[in-house]
């Protein structure tokens, strides 16, 4: 690994100050994306600012109609948390399907969401459940958070502290995983908020989005078959060695149908 400076601030303010003072600083959470990216020289920051000792970034809180999860919470903690399993099982099963167990033992919610990898799983839950992303200085609605490939609404140095997921009546997530990495080639989360349906899609486009066409038909008739009538245009979808844009457009419908079937079960 090439040389860089490592910092371990004890507060969010210190983290931000270090970020501002660095030539090219970056926050470090679980490192499961950042460290491989640096080894491949896709990023070469001068300063790594480890968030591990910043207070208030951990912990899972169950509220009446929401689950609030600290940014540094591990994927394996979300997957194994009894409270989330009963209040919002779709989130624990989604987290349990991320990568492999070693990745889940280091990777964090905040890191995954801040990174906005087009194939990451959590973004489907952010848009599909209409989560709120809390940072040090504001709250950002899930619908406004993902902007483009690896681009979010976060300002430089803005730290995610917690993410709050509203609890739907029922929900289901289905992904078509890349067999090597388990990242989502396409993943679809369908949530039923007492008759109002939300559909979050990851993997298909440059960043996660809501499938409004599918939402519309499901709002009229919540059944897998009703999705047959929807046209999912492939324009703007990812086209790479893993799958063509046309195939991804096809998978959006297939995963959505499976998710609805699951949800009705």
Ligand X SMILES: Cc1cc2nc3c(=O)[nH]c(=O)nc-3n(C[C@H](O)[C@H](O)[C@H](O)COP(=O)(O)OP(=O)(O)OC[C@H]3O[C@@H](n4cnc5c(N)ncnc54)[C@H](O)[C@@H]3O)c2cc1C
Q: Which residues bind other proteins (CB under 8 A)?
A: 1-6, 8, 28, 31-32, 35-36, 39-40, 48, 50, 52, 76, 99-103, 105-106, 180-182
The partner in contact with residue 121, picked from ligand X, other proteins, none with C-beta cut-offs of 5 to 8 angstroms by kind, is ligand X
The partner in contact with residue 185, picked from ligand X, other proteins, none with C-beta cut-offs of 5 to 8 angstroms by kind, is none
In the block, which residue shows the tokens 């009705």? 264
Contact present, 155 and 163 (Cβ < 8 Å): no
The partner in contact with residue 4, picked from ligand X, other proteins, none with C-beta cut-offs of 5 to 8 angstroms by kind, is other proteins
CB nearer ligand X, residue 24 or residue 228: 24
Among residues 11, 181, 212, 216, the one that binds ligand X under rule CB under 6 A = 181
Gap between the Cα atoms of 92 and 261, Å rounded = 19
- Closest residue by Cα to residue 208 from 137, 136, 122: 122
Among residues 34, 87, 163, 227, the one that binds ligand X under rule CB under 6 A = 34
Site for ligand X in 58-77 (CB under 6 A): 71
Contact present, 126 and 90 (Cβ < 8 Å): no
| Alpha helices (H) in the chain, listed in sequence order | 12-21, 34-39, 75-80, 82-87, 89-96, 101-104, 109-115, 122-128, 212-220, 245-264
The partner in contact with residue 105, picked from ligand X, other proteins, none with C-beta cut-offs of 5 to 8 angstroms by kind, is other proteins
Among residues 62, 103, 153, 254, the one that binds ligand X under rule CB under 6 A = 103
Length of the chain: 265
State in angstroms the smallest separation of the CB of 32 from other proteins: 6
CB nearer other proteins, residue 99 or residue 205: 99
Interacting stretch for ligand X, rule CB under 6 A, among 26-34, 77-85, 206-214, 235-243?
26-34
Site for ligand X in 190-209 (CB under 6 A): none
| Phi–psi pair at 191, nearest 5 degrees | -125, 140
The partner in contact with residue 71, picked from ligand X, other proteins, none with C-beta cut-offs of 5 to 8 angstroms by kind, is ligand X
Continuous segment of H or E residues that includes residue 222: none
Q: Which residues pair with 198 in a beta bridge?
A: 191
Distant-in-sequence, close-in-space partners of 159: CB < 8 Å, separation ≥ 6? 12, 15, 16, 27, 51, 54, 71, 135, 136
Gap between the Cα atoms of 233 and 252, Å rounded = 10
Gap between the Cα atoms of 199 and 256, Å rounded = 8
State in angstroms the smallest separation of the CB of 233 from ligand X: 25
Among residues 92, 108, 174, 238, the one that binds ligand X under rule CB under 6 A = 108
**Chain centre distance of CA 240:** 21
The footprint of ligand X (CB under 6 A) covers 26-34, 36, 51, 71, 98-99, 103, 107-108, 110-112, 114-115, 117, 120-122, 159-160, 181-183
């Amino acid at each position: 690994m090439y040389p860089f400076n490592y910092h371990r601030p004890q507060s969010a303010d210190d983290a931000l100050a270090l970020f501002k003072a660095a030539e090219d600083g970056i926050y470090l959470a679980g490192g499961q994306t950042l460290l491989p990216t640096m080894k491949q020289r896709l990023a070469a920051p001068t300063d790594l600012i480890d968030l591990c000792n910043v207070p208030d970034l951990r912990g899972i809180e169950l509220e009446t109609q929401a689950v609030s999860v600290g940014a540094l919470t591990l994927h394996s903690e979300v997957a194994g948390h009894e409270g989330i399993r009963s209040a919002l099982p779709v989130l624990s099963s989604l987290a349990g399907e991320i990568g492999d167990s070693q990745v889940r033992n280091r990777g964090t919610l905040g890191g995954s969401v801040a990174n906005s990898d087009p194939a990451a799983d959590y973004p489907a839950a952010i848009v599909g459940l209409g989560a709120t992303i809390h940072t040090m200085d504001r709250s950002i609605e899930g619908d406004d958070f993902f902007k483009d490939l690896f681009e979010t609404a976060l300002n430089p140095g803005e730290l995610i502290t917690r993410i709050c997921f509203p609890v739907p009546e029922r929900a289901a997530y289905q992904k078509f995983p890349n067999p090597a990495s388990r990242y989502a080639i396409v993943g679809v989360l369908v949530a039923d908020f007492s008759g109002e349906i939300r559909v979050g899609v990851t993997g298909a486009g440059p960043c996660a989005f809501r499938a409004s066409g599918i939402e519309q038909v499901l709002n009229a008739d919540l059944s897998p078959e009703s999705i047959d009538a929807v046209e999912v245009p492939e324009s703007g979808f990812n086209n790479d060695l893993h799958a063509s844009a046309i195939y991804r457009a096809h998978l959006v419908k297939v995963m959505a149908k499976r998710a609805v079937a699951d949800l009705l079960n």
